[in-house]
Amino acid sequence: MLTLADIVEGVGGRRIEALAQHSIQNVVIDSRQAQRGDLFAALPGESRDGHDYVGHAFGRGALAALVHHDRVPHLEGLGVGRVDARHPAAAEILDVALPVLIRVDDTLTALQRLSAYWRAKFNLRVIGVTGSVGKTTTKELIAQVLSARYRTLKSEGNYNNEIGVPLTLLKLRAEHERAVIEMGMYALGEIAAYCRWARPQVGVVTIVAPVHLERLGTIENIAKAKSELPAALPSAELGGVAILNDDDERVRSMAAVTAARVVTYGLTPRAHVWASDIESFGLNGLSFTLHYGGERQLAKLPLLGRHSVQTALRAAAVGLVEGMNLVEVVEALRTAPVQLRLVTAKGPFNSIVLDDTYNASAESTIAALNLLAEIEGVGPRIAVLGDMLELGDMEKQAHDEVGCRAALAAQYVIGVGERSRWTCQAAVECGMSPERVFHVMTNREALEVLNAIVREPCVILVKGSRGMRMEEIVSRLGELANSV
């Protein structure tokens, strides 16, 4: 277990054995989640400062708090202790009382340093996952496959940034044999930093796409940022494995930057792990033949859409390089959760709502539209598509591509937001009747259109960038389903 002595040593470099008797149950950054025996990291935010909530965390039972302010409010009457961990040679207990404030120079940097210190104590295999699209679903499915043989830790939700990666590493315990860490990024150098903390032996790259282009400027910079994962892996002799998408030229070329063994996945026999005979059954999942090392197995999955084959291949590749056989991998895939990100819900008039509102890029939206096109026999197909954000100079092209695909996949298109005007225009230009294309600016207006056109069972895809809050539409459609 993580102890107060570990924390002081991890953040400051000096161990104080008198603190080793106090175990830490969990590390939290939200005082509302604090429980007895936890460490609360008081992080400053854009509108709120975690230091203002240290007292609340202590009141809920937190044992310690990382702070970088000398004055922490709302501690009256708590009798807190204090440890100064800013200077390793001079780290000392100022007051041994519990709960205790652990003073550092910067709480975020200290949290990251602590996670690297804690990770180094464990002899386990870490799998890093990055890419422009599909990181979270890939992480989830990899963990599902590995859990069939190994005790596996995984990043929770989308804990894939400078805070989430350390929090995940601090959950490591002696029983874990594998850990799957999702790695997102907004700038060059971030993934390299995550790798210094997590020390992955296996790196999986999904695809390189113009996501967050406004931050990185060019798709070449995006590829460079993603390549930091394979570049950080240990050599093949030391057990490093880079799992790369053979169908994406930019990802495939990352073989040149790694000393690790390269294992490719894709939809052609050129890849080491590949799929053939793909068959989608709409809402009833899909099947394909999985090939590896001259062997093959029929794989059946409850996942939705042909694009899910790529996710399955990544997970299969990890399982195979981690010592599982083809039969084990296929069985683990068969028992995967029904859907990892896109989920189905009930809508009005017995409609099916495809809820893919978590985020959106051109690639992920086209994949969702492909799934929509595969669903037959349920009535009209309706695509409700919100703006795709942070695409930089590619935004018009991306919305045009989505609009054109929507014209072929759906009978109705509803574009929500300023940029989705391009989506609607492209849908008409690609052959959809203007009477079946609606451009609106708000989710409320989109619901008004849906209310007018949905009068029978149908399939409604709802997708847009996180900032568009498209989940409001899904929630309201669920309410209408219960009232109609």
Alpha helices (H) in 26-157, listed in sequence order: 54-59, 107-119, 135-146
CB atoms within 10 A of CB 43: 18
Fold of 122-334: UDP-N-acetylmuramoyl-L-alanine:D-glutamate ligase (3.40.1190)
Condensed to tens digits (0 to 9), the pLDDT of residues 48-78 reads 899 999 999 999 999 999 999 878 888 877 7
First to last CA, the chain: 53
Percent of the chain surpassing pLDDT 70: 96
Under the banding of pLDDT at 50, 70 and 90, the label for residue 328 is very high
Q: What is the pLDDT of residues 20-48, one digit of tens each?
A: 999 999 999 999 999 999 999 999 988 88
What local confidence, expressed as pLDDT, does residue 88 receive? 60
Residue 303 CB neighbour total at 10 angstroms: 25
Give the span between the Cα atoms of 19 and 145, in whole angstroms: 39
- Top-level CATH class of 2-111? alpha beta
Are 185 and 201 contacting, i.e. CB atoms less than 8 angstroms apart? no
SS3 call for 454 = coil
Q: What is the pLDDT of residue 91?
A: 53
Q: Is 2 helix (H, G, I), strand (E, B) or coil?
A: strand
Question: Could you tell me which CATH class the domain 343-483 is placed in?
Answer: alpha beta
- State the pLDDT confidence band at 86, using cuts at 50, 70 and 90: confident
Contact 295, 268 (CB under 8 A): no
pLDDT-based confidence at residue 341 (cuts at 50, 70, 90)? low
- Asked whether the CA dihedral 133, 391, 386, 465 is positive or negative, the reply is positive
β-bridge mates for residue 353, sequence order = 345, 460
pTM: 0.82
Tokens of 61: 């039972």
d(CA 444, CA 249): 41
Peptide bond into 99 cis (omega under 30): yes
In the chain, where the domains are located: 2-111, 122-334, 343-483
> What is the rounded CA–CA span in Å between residue 332 and residue 144?
7
Instruction: Give a three-class secondary structure readout of 281-330.
Output: CHHHCEEEEEEECCEEEEEEECCCCCCHHHHHHHHHHHHHHCCCCHHHHH
Q: Which residues pair with 93 in a beta bridge?
A: 83
Structure tokens belonging to residue 452? 């007018």
Q: Pick the more confident residue, 81 or 330.
A: 330
